[in-house]
Chain A
Amino acid sequence: MTPMFFNQFDSNIAMVNEDERQNFHRDASRLRKRLQISSRDKEVVEDDGTVGQWSISDPRISCRNVDVNYGDKQAIKKVNLDIGRNEVLSFIGPSGCGKSTLLRCLNRMNDTIPGCRVSGEIKLDDEDVYLKHIDVVPLRAKVGMVFQKPNPFPKSIFENVAYGPRIHGLTATKDGLAEVVESSLRRAGLWEEVKDYLDHPGTSLSGGQQQRLCIARTIAVNPEVILMDEPCSALDPIATAKIEQLIDELREQYTIVIVTHSMQQAARVSQRTAYFHLGKLIEVGETASVFTQPIHKLTDDYISGRFG
């Protein structure tokens, strides 16, 4: 009576068992192979060259073999990097690694520094920004910049924002100008706070408000790219959070490159992260993977706060 049931039970177990065992052995060898490949990647990356996805399809800005020298000193060595549309790319790295230098190259802010020589190719929308005939004034309208310390002009809040559109001739009428000022201040998240004080001096605002005023001033001239050089390092956490929220909103319209010393900020605001070390671009990748599984040891040591 019972033996039949037991026999069936028995043979079922045997079958499952055999299947599982074969599956497993196949899987274990596949696993080994996969893990060996990934650890080999880790060893290769000790040498020169950028690791990760520095190149992307349809970039807004592309840098190829960019070298920057200050006199005899080479600040940036052979940087290749693409910056995409509607993305926030953050540059991180220790002081003096060249991240601000590269940022300043993107709208030729380095032209004014004596002894500074840029070679290689930096293209904005497929046009080399370092060609002789390029006028830097419209270039800097297209590629706006926000600095570490808020630097409003010593004029009224209204004039701070209106100045750019006026000199670039973006609007002909007074009403048009007022519209641009309002929409820029709105997009910078400052309108509600300053709409009744537009004639007050820009310098009367708090630090965080001044920084948002500078962002409003930048976006008033319809840029394509916004460069930010440590925009929050002089701000408190609340003002920082407001700027970060603003960056996230602006991403829908602009390409944003941000230099930051706060790695947590890079992790929070950017989609891609680039790590620089001694003038070299070491690693570029999706921010999430750079902060959880960096490929290069230098990146790993820097972001986890270890001795370099």
Chain B
Amino acid sequence: MSRGVAMEKLTDGHIIRRYDGELDNLRLIALEMGGLVINLLGDALNAFKTQDLDLAHKVVAMDNQVDELEVKADQEIANIIAKRCPVSSDLRMVMAVSKSVSDLERIGDEAVRIAGLAIQAIGNEASDPNSQMLRDVNRIGSMAMSGLRSAVEIFDIWDEEKALQVIENHNDMEEEFQADLRHLITYILEDYRNIGFAISVVLVIKSLERVGHHAQNLAEYVVFQVSGEDIRSDQPS
């Protein structure tokens, strides 16, 4: 199915035009959440890398907004199901958004976790930042960010092929995560005083790995919406 068809079919063309608007509104809530968590994750990573306490606190405070949007999306979904009885691609779209918002909310939680680790690390002398380890965080961080960006982008254009790309790229991220763990072990072996910061870094990259996983889920929901195929069981976890 071409991209044009997928987009045109997405929310438009109902005889009841308000229904178009309601579905579009739902989609925009999901996109707004997507934009918000992209910002949150970016800020959290920056706060960790630059030891910026204010920025870290800002991330923690912003998480409320993500939660509020999730509640709003859930309400809209319940309203649409009750009022419109969506079927076919509309039903799949509502289900896809419903599942996506919970993944997006989790991504927000991971950003808060990273910000929390930044706050902890700043107050702790034993965990001086180590530039080599930060390089690892940077690398996997930018992979997670770009994975998340493309996942949110395909949620806007509903492109099956791009969604598959995101799912494939997720695997590179898994590899990077495993490689980073190996690096960290060598840093600790070189100098055991690194261990404090290394633990923070392990937790951060684990969070980033989770973000990558949620981004993969988002892409799977898009494939489901567009093709009607549930591909989750076909994936190695």
Q: A residues bordering B, Cβ < 8 Å?
A: 2-3, 6, 9-10, 13-14, 16-17, 20-21, 23-24, 27-28, 30-32, 34-35, 38-39, 42-43, 263-264, 267, 291-294, 300-301, 303-307
Contact = CB atoms under 8 A, between A and B. Distances in A.
Contacts of B229: 34-35, 38
A18 to B, nearest CB: 10
Interface in B141-180: 160, 164, 167-168, 171, 174-175, 178
A6 B14 contact: no
Interface of B: 1, 13-16, 19, 85-92, 160, 164, 167-168, 171, 174-175, 178, 181-182, 185, 189, 223, 227-229, 231, 234-236
Nearest to B167: A28
A21 B168 contact: no
Q: Is the interface of A mostly helix, strand, loop or mixed?
A: helix
A291 B86 CA distance: 9
B181 A13 contact: yes
A20 B14 contact: no
Contact of B15 (A35, A43, A294, A307): A307
B223 A6 contact: no
Given A27-B234, A293-B88, A6 B185 contact: yes
Contacts of B231: 31, 35
6 contacts: A13-B182, A20-B236, A24-B168, A31-B234, A292-B92, A305-B19
B164 A32 contact: yes
A306 B5 CA distance: 14
B96 to A, nearest CB: 13
B88 A292 contact: yes
A22 to B, nearest CB: 10
A32 B167 CA distance: 12
5 nearest interchain CB pairs? A293-B228, A306-B13, A291-B87, A39-B1, A304-B88
